[in-house]
Amino acid sequence: MLPESHVDSSSRDAVRLAAGLVVTMAALVLGFLVASAKSSYDAQIADVTQISAKVILLDRILAHYGPEAKEARAQLRGIVVGTLDRLWPQERSQPSGVRTPPALAEHLYDNVQALSPKDDTQRSLKAQASNMVLSLGETRWLMFSQSANSISKPMLVILVFWLTIIFISFGLHAPINATVTSALLVCGLSVSAAILLIQDLYAPYSGMVTISSAPLRNALAQLGQ
């Protein structure tokens, strides 16, 4: 549909050079976004695994302290159940029967601090339990902060603009037939899937690529033993 002067060899070479520059920039930005989203996703997995291990260790410390820590252990179990219900509601087949107030973690720390050790062993266990509760709280807030990460909207707009330019350049001198149309459509869907994957990795508890709740559920199974 273009005039002959727009599709000669010189015009084709100029378009290829310009499109090559945009392709390089788009590839770099797309790769950066995928790597950044994957790092955020891996950090969330590490936090879930770390919290699961700390929960089991805290429960064992409280168990060794004695029956005086029974209420704190029950609160710890309630926190784990509430966290599972909140982060993975789609896996809950029935109501858990546990209502976790927002300040329950702080109440757990107060409960541990209220313990009255009778000997050096209990004093040592109380100190370890207090430090463990603080560490759990730190990891919990770290997870909350990391979950707020998302893809940069201006960067996404620029990337989509670049990709649009690239696909226009692909079709500028291409013949109109089913093969070319199908190839461009598949490429477009592939790039769109990459952007969707990036957005999913930034939402690890609600998207298609979700973090497994198995570590925390395994920890829950160990509590109270």
With respect to residue 6, please indicate whether it lies within any of the assigned structural domains.
no
Split into its structural domains, the chain has a count of 1
With respect to residue 3, please indicate whether it lies within any of the assigned structural domains.
no
Indicate if the pLDDT at residue 190 is higher than 90: yes
The CB density around residue 95, as the number of other CB atoms within 10 Å, is 8
Q: What is the mean pLDDT of residues 7-13?
A: 76
With respect to residue 127, please indicate whether it lies within any of the assigned structural domains.
yes
With respect to residue 132, please indicate whether it lies within any of the assigned structural domains.
yes
- At 79-109, the pLDDT tens digits run 888 888 888 887 765 444 444 444 566 788 8
φ, ψ (nearest 5 deg) of residue 213: -90, 5
Give the DSSP letter string of 27-64.
HHHHHHHHHHHHHHHHHHHHHHHHHHHHHHHHHHHHHH
With respect to residue 1, please indicate whether it lies within any of the assigned structural domains.
no
- At 42-57, the pLDDT tens digits run 988 998 999 999 999 9
With respect to residue 9, please indicate whether it lies within any of the assigned structural domains.
no
With respect to residue 121, please indicate whether it lies within any of the assigned structural domains.
yes
φ, ψ (nearest 5 deg) of residue 80: -65, -45
With respect to residue 7, please indicate whether it lies within any of the assigned structural domains.
no
CB 178 within 8 A of CB 20: no
| Alpha carbons 110 and 107: distance in angstroms, whole number | 5
Q: What is the 3 state secondary structure string of 13-33? A: HHHHHHHHHHHHHHHHHHHHH
pLDDT range class, residue 223, cuts 50, 70, 90? confident
Range of the domain at 82: 14-222
pTM summary value? 0.77
